[in-house]
Amino acid sequence: MKIFLRLSVITAFFLLIAGKAMSQRNEYRDSVVQLYGVVMTADSLMAIPSASIIVEGKGRGTITNPDGVFSIAVLKGDRITFSCVGFKNRSIEIPRDLADNQYSVIQLLVSDTAYLPATILKPRPTREQFERDFVNMKIADDAYEIARKNTDEAQRRILINSLPADGREAINYQLRQQANKYYYSGQLPPMNILNPAAWADFIKAWKRGDFKRKD
């Protein structure tokens, strides 16, 4: 008898939960509304293509077709925003007490005029001043001139002396220093003062001006 009563209570509990879920499901189904209509200009009643229709707070929406027509599923009580570049935004709210599951709207958007600051154009006072300013005007270098300056030998020397060594150059220098140290281990390293090749490099560097003072 006790087992039968327990089974009856459990069955009634599950039936109550199922009935509540079904009622909520039916209530949600009744709250779904098919919103459709057309978006047009307020002054000339022309269709606005590619206008955005956004459901606020839901992260979803749609756009109008080339004829300004749209269709989207929303819920009762949702707030819908219509927007398009060059027009002011408009918002509507789906009625909560809507009896039908369809809602049509003809939304008119007003043009949004943007006023730019005034620009005053003044001519040169005299022809002589115009010619002088035109001759003395500095024109930015084009790509060919920039490439020519970057490949100039003097410019390359300046860049080599001014730019710091990157990681690859630094590690190669360190490896060369270690190799020379290990190569002359246990003996005196040669003196470059008696090396003709070193003297030739020194003379070339002197002629290039590598030892000049850089201010």
Amino acid at 101: N
State how beta strands 90-93 and 79-83 pair: antiparallel
Cα separation, 64 vs 48, whole angstroms: 7
Q: Write the CB contacts of 82 (distance below 8 Å, at least 6 apart in sequence).
A: 39, 51, 52, 53, 89, 90, 91, 92, 107, 109
Query: 122 or 55: whose pLDDT is higher?
Result: 55
Q: How confident is the model at residue 6 (pLDDT cuts 50, 70, 90)?
A: low
pTM of the prediction?
0.44
Mean pLDDT is lowest, of 20-24, 68-72, 95-99, for 20-24
Q: How confident is the model at residue 61 (pLDDT cuts 50, 70, 90)?
A: very high
Q: What confidence tens digit (pLDDT) does each residue in 112-142 have?
A: 887 888 888 877 678 888 888 888 888 888 8
Q: What residue segments make up the domains of the chain, in order of their start?
A: 2-109, 127-208
Q: Where do we find the tokens 């190799």?
A: 179
Mean pLDDT of 177-192: 78
Q: Report percent pLDDT > 90 for the chain.
A: 26
Beta bridge partners of 71: 36
pLDDT at 60 over 50: yes
State how beta strands 102-109 and 32-41 pair: parallel
Cα separation, 64 vs 55, whole angstroms: 14
Query: 201 or 28: whose pLDDT is higher?
Result: 201
Q: How many CA atoms lie within 13 A of 148 on its CB side?
A: 5
Residue 47 has what pLDDT? 93
3-state secondary structure of 1: coil
List Cα–Cα distances, 206 to 60, 98, 193, 198, in angstroms: 73, 94, 16, 12
What average pLDDT does the chain have?
Answer: 80
Which fold is adopted by the domain 2-109?
A: Immunoglobulin-like (2.60.40)
Q: How confident is the model at residue 36 (pLDDT cuts 50, 70, 90)?
A: very high
